A and B are shown apart, each in its own frame.
Chain A
Amino acid sequence: MDFGSISRRHLLQGSAALALGGTLGVRGAAAAETTVGFIYVGSRDDYGYNQAHAQGAAAVKKLPGVKVVEEEKVPETDAVEKTVESMVNLDGATLLFPTSFGYYNPHVVKMANKFPKLHFEHCGGLWADKDPKNAGSYFGYIDEAQYISGIVAGYTSKSGKLGFVAAKPIPQVLRNINAFTLGARLANPKATTQVIFTGDWSMPVKEAEATNSLIDQGIDVLTCHVDGPKTMVENAARRGAFICGYHVNQSPLAPKAYLTGAEWNWEALYPKFVKMIMSGESIPNFYRGGLKEGLVKVSPYGEAVSAEARKHADEVKAKFMADGYTIFKGPIVDNKGKTVIAGGTDRGQKDAELEKMDYLVEGVIGATA
C-alpha cells in the first residue's frame, strides 16, 4: 500500500473509526442525509474571503437532512485532491465546494472525472465546455458592490484621494480597483485612487505599512482586496481614516469609521445550490451573478455616510437590481491615456473580456507591473 497517499485527515479518521468500530459499527448509519463538503484555502474565521464562504456553509448546516463537513487551510496543490477523496470516501460527501481559485485546474477537474456521480461546485474558476459536466464554477460580480462603495467613498473623502491596498495585479483585483474608482468619480470627478500592491494575499505587516503610507499621502478613505482586511481596517481606523470593507462586513472592527463595503452573499447562494441538488435539479455549469442575483451585497451604510451619498448610491443600486446598469461603459481610458473600451461599446458583466482585465482606469495612481 502506498502510505504516501494517505492524508493526515484520512489517517486520523481511520484510527478513530478503528477505535469506535467495535462498539458503534463503522459509519454509514446516517445514510439518509446529504453530506456537503466545504474546502477552504485559509482559516475560516479570517474576517475575509474564507469567512465569507464559512458563513455560507453555516447557512447550509441549518437545512434539514444536510450534514456539512469542512476542512480549512488546504493548499492549492495535490492536498485538495486528498481532502476531496477523504470527504467522499470517509464522510460520504456527494456535493463539494472547493472554494479557492487555484483548486480548479487540474485538481477539481481531475476529481470530477474520477467521481462522475458527485457534484463539484467551484468558486471563481472558468468552466469550459471541455470540462466534466458534474463540475461547475460560480462567482459573484463583486465589482458592482465595489462600485457602490466607490460612490460612497467619493462623497465622503474631503481630499478626493482614495486608497486601495491590493494583493496582486490579477484581473479580479484590477476589476475591483477600476470599479471602485469609476464609482468614486461619479461622485467626485476629480477623485483619484492610489493603489499599493503588497505582493501576496496575506502580508499583515506590508498591509499595515501600505495603510500608513497611503494615509501619510493625505488619503482619507481606504479599501482593499486582500484575504484578511482586518489589518487594514484596524490600522486605518486608528489613524482616523474612513473604510470601505471587503469580503464580509467589518463594521464591528471600526464602527465609526466603516462607511460600507462589498460583501459576498454565499449564505444566500449555498443553501439554494444544495436544495437544487437535493431536488434533482441541475445547476448551470457556469454560474455568475451580481447584486441582482444576490451573489454579492453591500454592507449597511455607516453613520458617517451623508444623505447625498446614500441617495446616489441607492439610486445606482436600484439600477443594478433592475438590470439596467453597466459599469464598464465606453469610452474608458486607462491611466496611461490609452482607450481600453471604445466609445459606444458596453462591456456588460458577462463579457469575457472583463475577466481578462489588465489595465487601471484613468484616476487610478499605480501600475499593474
Chain B
Amino acid sequence: MADPSIGLWTVPLAVFGGAIRVSTPFLFVSLGECITERSGRINLGLEGTLVMGAMSAYGISYLSGSPWLGVLAAGITGALFGALHAGICSLPRVNDIAVGIALMLLGTGLAFFLGKPLIEPTAPRLPAIDFGWWSDVPQVRAALRINVLFLIGVAIAPLLYWAFRTTRWGLLIRTAGESSDAARAMGHSVLLIRLRATMVGGFLAGIGGSFLSLFYPGSWNEGLSSGQGITAVALVIFARWDPMLCLWASLAFGGAAALGPALQSVGVTSGYHLFNAAPYILTLAIMIITCSPKRTLTGAPAELSITR
C-alpha cells in the first residue's frame, strides 16, 4: 500500500508552502510601507489598515458575492486610512508615529465593531491558480495552489525597485524623503507627495488584509492579524527600505511562521513555543547583526522621524 504521507519532506514543503501562503500580507504591507517611508513618513497605523482591509473585503465579498470587489473595497478603505494619516500629519507639529499608533487602535477597534455580524457568515473566497498540475503528490499540489494576489505582490516588488530608481515619480518620492527642502526648492509640495505616498501605502496594506480574510486563513475573525501589520512595518526597516529585500524578508517570515506547526507534525514536539517564535527571533537576530553604533542605518530616508 502506498503511504500517502511524505514523512520528513513535510517540513521543507510546509516552509515553502508557508512562505507562499503566509507571506502575502507581509509583502503587501511592507511594500506599501516602503513607499510611505521613502517619502519621509512612518505610518505605524498599517496594522489597523490591515485589519480594516480584511474586514471590509470580507463584508463586501459577502454582500456583493464578488471577492474581487472585496479586494477593491479593502484597497479603498486602506487608501482612506492613509489619507487620514497623511492629512493629520500635514498639520504643523504633529508626530507621525503617535498618529500611527492612534490609527492602529482606531482601525482595529472600528473593524471589530463593524465586523461583528461578519464572523458567522461565509463569504466567497478568492480563487487559487493551480501550479501543481505537473505533480502527482497531493501535498505538492496543495502547496502550489497559489493566489493571484501573491503573484501581483511579487510583481510589484521589482516594479517598485525600478520605479524608485528610474522614474520621475520615484525620484520625487525619494527627494521628499531625503530632503524636503530640496523638493520644495524644486517647486513641489512635500505634503502632497507624502499624502499620495501614504495613500498608496494604505491601499496596498488594505489589499494585504483582503488576502487574510478572503484567501488564507480565509475568514474574518478578530484574531486574524495578530500583529502581522506591525511586524511588516518592522520588516521594512530590516529590509533597508529596498522593495526587493522586502520581498525576500516577507518570504522568510512566511516560511518561519510555518516552521513551528510543521515540525510538530513530524514529531519534533519539544520547544514548540520556541519554533512558533521563530519569526520574531529572526527579526531580533537580523537587527542585532546589522546594527552599528557608528553610523545611521544605510538606506534610511534622511527625513524619517526615527533617523532624524
Residues in A lying within 8 Å of B, measured CB to CB? 42-43, 45-47, 73, 159, 161, 194-199, 202-210, 212-218, 228, 230-231, 234-235, 238-239, 253, 365-367, 369
Contact = CB atoms under 8 A, between A and B. Distances in A.
B259 to A, nearest CB: 9
A209 B142 contact: no
A216 B13 contact: yes
Contact of A199 (B116, B119, B262, B276): B276
A366 B261 CA distance: 11
Given A43-B116, A45-B119, A199-B273, A209 B264 contact: no
A235 B5 contact: no
Interface in B249-284: 257-258, 260-262, 264-267, 269-270, 272-273, 276
Contacts of A194: 265
A217 B122 contact: no
Contacts of B264: 195-197, 210, 213, 366
Interface string B99-123: 0000000000000100011011010
13 contacts: A43-B112, A46-B222, A194-B265, A199-B260, A203-B226, A205-B224, A209-B260, A212-B261, A216-B5, A216-B13, A217-B266, A218-B5, A367-B270
Of the candidates B264, B267, B272, the one having the most CB atoms from chain A within 10 angstroms of its own CB is: B264
B265 A217 contact: yes
B22 A235 contact: no
A228 to B, nearest CB: 6
A366 B269 contact: yes
The 6 tightest CB contacts between A and B, nearest first, are: A218-B5, A202-B223, A367-B269, A213-B265, A208-B217, A218-B4
A198 B265 contact: no
Instruction: Categorize the interface residue count of chain B.
Output: 35 or more
Contacts of B217: 204-205, 207-208, 231, 234-235
Contacts of A228: 221, 223
B219 interface: yes
A42 B222 CA distance: 9
Contact of A204 (B142, B224, B267): B224
Contacts of B122: 234, 253
A216 B222 contact: no
A365 B267 contact: yes
B221 A212 contact: no
B262 A47 contact: no
B139 A46 contact: no
Contacts of A366: 264, 269
Interface centre among A47, A218, A365 (most CB of B within 10 A): A218
B248 interface: no
Nearest to B268: A367
A161 B223 CA distance: 29
B14 interface: yes
A213 B267 CA distance: 11
Given A45-B117, A202-B222, A212-B17, 4 more contacts: A47-B120, A73-B112, A209-B257, A218-B5
Interface in B1-35: 3-6, 10, 13-14, 17-18, 21-22
Contacts of B228: 205
Contacts of B224: 204-205
Interface string B117-140: 101101000000000000000010
A234 B219 contact: yes
A329 to B, nearest CB: 27
